[in-house]
């Protein structure tokens, strides 16, 4: 029996739907990237209001990164580097993990960032996103090159320099 295409379309449309202002994780007057790790949503917050929302995949072992190689996404507030070209992900936005305070506590690792699908695996990454499957080594990933391009353009335009990853 073939898979009902209307069910797949319904799932896709529900994931792609913009969030309402009431469902935001944006703090009042905050202009930042806010990752709601429970909902797997990235909010681009402009003056406390959601400008755009994207579905994200996180580390394959969840959140709460403390050491290199744990495949977890860190929680907290981090500086963002400038979006840059990447051979592996088209565009990569570095996340400043660990903070100096975390490093003093023994947290290890690096190379955490916001990016799109890995080169050559765009369709697989999009399917994983539809299935709400976390697959990164600790980064925050969006489903397409078009999405990471839109995020990079927004960051440049707004001059945003930090990301908040919250439960």
The Cα 71–Cα 7 span in angstroms is 31
pLDDT of residue 100: 96
pLDDT of residue 133: 82
> What is the second-level CATH architecture of the domain 5-166?
Beta Barrel (2.40)
- The pTM for the full model equals 0.81
DSSP state of 120: T
Q: Identify the CA nearest to 140 among candidates 164, 122, 119.
A: 164
pLDDT of residue 15: 34
Can you list the positions of beta strands (E) in the chain?
32-36, 41-46, 49-55, 76-79, 84-86, 90-94, 113-115, 140-141, 162-166
pLDDT of residue 131: 62
Is 73 within 8 Å of 82 (Cβ atoms)? no
pLDDT of residue 105: 96
Give me the sheet containing 41-46, strands edge to edge: 49-55, 41-46, 32-36, 162-166, 76-79
Tell me the average confidence (pLDDT) per consecutive run of 10 residues in the chain, 167 residues long.
30 34 71 95 95 95 96 96 94 97 95 90 66 87 94 95 88
């Amino acid at each position: 029996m073939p898979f009902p295409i209307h069910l797949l379309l319904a799932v896709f449309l529900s994931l792609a739907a913009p969030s309402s202002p009431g469902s935001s994780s944006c703090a009042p007057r905050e202009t930042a990237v806010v990752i709601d790790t429970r909902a797997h949503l990235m909010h681009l917050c402009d003056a406390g209001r959601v400008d755009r929302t994207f579905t994200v995949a996180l580390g394959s072992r969840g959140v709460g990164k403390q050491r290199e190689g744990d495949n977890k996404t860190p929680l907290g507030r981090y500086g963002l580097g400038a979006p840059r070209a990447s051979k592996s992900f088209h565009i990569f936005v570095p996340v400043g993990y660990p903070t100096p305070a975390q490093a003093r506590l023994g947290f290890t690792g690096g190379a955490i960032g916001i990016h799109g699908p890995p080169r050559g695996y765009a369709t697989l990454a999009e399917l994983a996103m539809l299935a709400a499957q976390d697959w990164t080594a600790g980064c925050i990933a969006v489903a397409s090159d078009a999405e990471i391009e839109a995020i990079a353009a927004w960051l440049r335009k707004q001059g945003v320099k930090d990301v908040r990853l919250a439960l």
